[in-house]
């Protein structure tokens, strides 16, 4: 919820009145005289011994009452100051009114450049295909966002893909300050499901989300209502969406979803503005299967340069998706975990005799800032936000010829993620990934990321074959604004 500024005087006005009150008291009663010694002297400051008085007789002469402003002069100056403050208030109100008459525009964007090298064993190449070393533009996004007429906000975001095509990202308009509902958003945007999914890629601890990322719904056309508690310790969101990945959907049997999420902060350290907190969350989504298929092509090595694996499950009618979230921040230390299970239903799923299929995924990770920062939390949306180093990186020579250096912020992290797509007669494989990360935040908007991933595959879809593995070393240079 948002609180509006009430009427009355501004902070400047209040300060002016306080000052005038002090002046009036001084004019009426004169300067205060020194109290007799009480035996409880205040700590002496620099130079106090040279200027303290042993008795009232030692004090300098007090200015006469005549040296102060007369009552008429003081009243005149008060009137002048009040008139000046009134003009300032009127100008401020006029500026706000003018600004609310047209939308504001803020231009933003991000550029992520990746490089990765892979080392696979022979069986892994058979199971998943060949992962080739490479470099790529992982994300090149541009957006415009802003507010309009005090109660609307919008975002218009597009991305240049690695194949050169332009693809839509967040494109929506929201109306705010509504009774009961709070905020309503319409357009193409992320469904409210999953802490890791809803946290912007600008602020992720690792280069890619966990191996079970594709469990969580991504962006779809829809409408969503959302709000947060007055104390910002709880949030809620629910909405209806199409399950087609396209921005244009025409189908007499439209596939839809209903998705909702709620979060709660049992503990939030107000004194340190969130350097200590405990986040909990749950999410649910009912989903019609688009074209009676589930999942699709996925990447399991937590690298966008890795080969895709076809995990498509056919003959699925609908899915109930459940998720649970937990995160804990204690200064520079952070822990985060999610568990998700998908309850898919259909007739002879994937050509088998079963009518139900229940894959699941889980991850847990820890991160620590070597330089003392913490992961900031956005209380109105229940996600993590932008890390701000205590000092930016710099390496310059000062006027005296000495080299001065700022170290930026340094973060280390470890994540274990697990994905099991095998359930009964439907066998699509299982993965266990270990990821080690090192992040260097040069500023709040520029960072370098280094990841090592060891991914193990349990190929139940290849009976008689042993487990296989792939190792990935990757890095990213990132700027966003």
Residues 6+ apart with CB under 8 A from 75: none
pLDDT in tens, 345-396: 999 999 999 999 999 999 999 999 999 999 999 999 999 999 999 999 998 9
| CA 128 – CA 211 distance, rounded (Å) | 14
CA angle 397, 402, 406 (to 5 degrees): 60
| CA 83 – CA 88 distance, rounded (Å) | 9
Question: pLDDT band at residue 282, thresholds of 50, 70 and 90?
Answer: very high
pLDDT in tens, 147-177: 998 899 999 999 988 777 899 999 999 999 9
Confidence (pLDDT) at 407: 95
pLDDT of 16 above 80: no
Burial code (b: 16+ CB inside 10 Å, e: under 16) for 265-285 equals: beebeeeeebbbbbbbbebbb
| CA 129 – CA 118 distance, rounded (Å) | 12
CB distance 319 to 289 below 8 Å? yes
- Phi/psi of residue 189, each to 5°? -160, 175
* Separation in Å, CA 135 to CA 203, 211, 307, 477, 479: 21, 21, 14, 11, 17
Question: pLDDT band at residue 90, thresholds of 50, 70 and 90?
Answer: confident
pLDDT of 331 above 90: yes
CATH class of 106-480: mainly beta
| Dihedral, 76, 82, 87, 93 alpha carbons, nearest 10 | -170
Confidence (pLDDT) at 109: 96
Average pLDDT of span 25-46? 41
| CA 372 – CA 391 distance, rounded (Å) | 11
Please give the structure tokens belonging to residue 204.
Answer: 């992720």
Which range among 42-56, 59-73, 221-235, 353-367 shows the weakest confidence by mean pLDDT? 42-56
pLDDT of 121 above 80: yes
Greater pLDDT, 27 or 334: 334
Confidence (pLDDT) at 466: 82
Greater pLDDT, 44 or 353: 353
pLDDT of 97 above 90: no
Which range among 84-88, 143-147, 245-249, 355-359 shows the weakest confidence by mean pLDDT? 245-249
Burial class from Cβ neighbours inside 10 Å (0-12, 13-18, 19+) for residue 379 reads: buried
- Phi/psi of residue 169, each to 5°? -120, -120
* pTM for the structure as a whole: 0.79
Greater pLDDT, 149 or 447: 447
pLDDT in tens, 187-212: 999 999 999 999 999 999 999 999 99
Confidence (pLDDT) at 28: 43
pLDDT of 462 above 80: no
Which range among 137-141, 170-174, 302-306, 445-449 shows the weakest confidence by mean pLDDT? 302-306
| CA 239 – CA 378 distance, rounded (Å) | 21
* Separation in Å, CA 414 to CA 211, 337, 439: 14, 12, 12
Residues 6+ apart with CB under 8 A from 182: 1, 176, 225, 226, 227, 228
Where are the domain boundaries for CATH 2.40.160.10 in the chain?
106-480
pLDDT of 102 above 60: yes
Confidence (pLDDT) at 80: 86
Average pLDDT of span 298-311? 84
Which range among 32-36, 110-114, 267-271 shows the weakest confidence by mean pLDDT? 32-36
pLDDT of 52 above 70: no
Which range among 31-45, 67-81, 285-299 shows the weakest confidence by mean pLDDT? 31-45
């Amino acid at each position: 919820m948002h609180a509006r500024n009430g009427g009355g005087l501004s902070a400047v006005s209040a300060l002016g009145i306080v000052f005038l009150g002090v002046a009036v008291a001084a004019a009426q009663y004169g300067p205060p005289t020194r109290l007799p010694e009480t035996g409880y002297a205040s700590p002496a400051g620099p130079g106090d011994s040279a200027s303290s008085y042993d008795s009232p007789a030692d004090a300098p002469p007090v200015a006469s009452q005549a040296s102060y402003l007369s009552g008429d002069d003081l009243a005149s100056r008060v009137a002048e100051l009040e008139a000046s403050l009134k003009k300032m208030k009127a100008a401020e109100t006029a500026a706000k009114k003018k600004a609310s008459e047209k939308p504001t525009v803020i231009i933003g964007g991000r550029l992520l450049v990746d490089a990765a090298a892979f080392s696979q064993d022979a069986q892994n190449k058979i199971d998943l295909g060949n992962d080739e070393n490479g470099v790529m533009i992982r994300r090149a996004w541009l957006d415009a966002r802003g507010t309009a007429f005090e109660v609307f906000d919008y975002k218009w975001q597009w991305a240049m893909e690695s194949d050169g095509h332009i693809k839509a990202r967040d494109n929506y308009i929201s109306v705010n300050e509504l009774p009961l509902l709070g905020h309503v958003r319409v357009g193409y945007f992320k469904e409210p499901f999953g802490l890791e999914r809803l946290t912007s890629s600008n602020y992720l601890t690792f280069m890619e989300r966990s191996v079970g990322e594709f469990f969580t719904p991504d962006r779809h056309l829809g409408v969503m209502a959302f709000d947060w508690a007055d104390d910002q310790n709880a949030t809620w969101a629910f909405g209806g969406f199409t399950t087609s990945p396209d921005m244009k959907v025409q189908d007499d049997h439209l596939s839809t979803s209903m998705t909702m999420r709620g979060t709660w902060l049992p503990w939030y350290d107000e004194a340190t503005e969130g350097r200590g907190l405990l986040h909990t969350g749950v999410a649910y989504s009912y989903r019609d299967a688009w074209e009676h298929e589930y999942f699709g092509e996925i990447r399991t090595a937590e690298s966008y340069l890795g080969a895709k694996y076809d995990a498509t499950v056919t003959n699925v009618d609908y899915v109930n998706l459940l998720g649970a979230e937990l995160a804990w921040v204690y200064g520079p230390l952070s822990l985060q975990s999610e568990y998700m299970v998908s309850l898919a239903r259909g007739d002879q799923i994937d050509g088998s005799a079963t009518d139900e299929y229940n894959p699941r995924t889980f991850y847990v990770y820890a991160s620590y800032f070597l330089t003392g920062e913490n992961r900031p939390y956005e209380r109105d949306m229940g996600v993590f936000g932008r890390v701000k180093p205590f000092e930016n990186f710099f390496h310059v020579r000062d006027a005296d010829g000495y080299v001065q250096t700022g170290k930026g912020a340094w973060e280390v992290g470890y994540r274990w993620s697990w994905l099991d797509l095998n359930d009964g007669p439907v066998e699509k494989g299982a993965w266990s990934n270990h990821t080690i990360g090192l992040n260097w935040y040069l500023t709040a908007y520029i960072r370098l990321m280094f990841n090592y991933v060891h991914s193990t595959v349990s190929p139940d879809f290849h009976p008689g074959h042993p487990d296989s593995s792939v190792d990935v070393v990757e890095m990213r240079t990132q700027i966003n604004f």
